[in-house]
Amino acid sequence: MAPRGFEILEHPADIGFRAFGDSLPDLFGNSALALLSIGADLSGVDAREEYRLAAASPDLDSLMVDWLGEVLYWFDGKRIVFREFQIDLADTSLQAVARGEPRDPARHDARLIVKAVTYHQLKIYRRADLWVAEVYLDI
């Protein structure tokens, strides 16, 4: 695997990330962590509660966007922040156990407000033995 699970990509109007994974489930998990790290400091998050998340789409690109949209919904709508993901992927659907806790402003410093996950310049590809995703977000 890459030294880190993801890196942040600069963009003139938005922000993006490049995530890495030894497998597609790892890639989807690291992509979710990249998204969350843009919205909050994850260093104080305890993986003390389990939450069930799911997504299904017609193709892999759409699955990534829908998956990250689901993670963003939990983060913004339900006020839950995650630290770990265990993902089962079957074709273009996934089931996940996410571990985290309710957001606490005293321990989870806010960063940027992520409005949406976009298809803009979205790429998912395999490089040697590593999966890579490039995703841009509306902020």
Nearest one of 36, 37, 29, 30 to 53, comparing CA atoms: 29
Query: 6-138 domain in CATH 3.55.10.10?
Result: yes
Q: pTM score, two decimals?
A: 0.93
What is the DSSP secondary structure assignment for residue 67, as one 8-state letter?
H
What is the band of 87 on the pLDDT scale with cuts at 50, 70, 90?
very high
Q: What is the pLDDT averaged over residues 85-103?
A: 97
- Are residues 53 and 28 in contact, defined by beta-carbon separation less than 8 angstroms? no
Whether the per-residue pLDDT at 3 is higher than 70: the answer is no
Question: Strands 49-56, 93-102: parallel, antiparallel or unpaired by DSSP?
Answer: antiparallel
What is the DSSP secondary structure assignment for residue 58, as one 8-state letter?
S
pLDDT 10s digits, 7-35:
888 766 689 999 999 999 999 999 999 99
- Are residues 64 and 136 in contact, defined by beta-carbon separation less than 8 angstroms? no
pLDDT 10s digits, 35-80:
999 999 999 999 999 999 999 999 999 999 999 999 999 999 999 9
Kindly list the domain boundaries of the chain, sorted by start residue. 6-138
Instruction: Give Rg (Cα) of the chain.
Output: 14
Nearest one of 131, 133, 124 to 35, comparing CA atoms: 133
pLDDT 10s digits, 101-138:
999 998 999 999 999 999 999 999 999 999 999 999 99
- Are residues 9 and 136 in contact, defined by beta-carbon separation less than 8 angstroms? yes
* Helices of type H across the chain: 24-39, 60-72
Nearest one of 32, 120, 14 to 84, comparing CA atoms: 32
- Take residue 37 and report the two structure tokens written for it: 């790290």
Predicted local distance difference test score (pLDDT) of residue 10 = 77
Predicted local distance difference test score (pLDDT) of residue 4 = 67
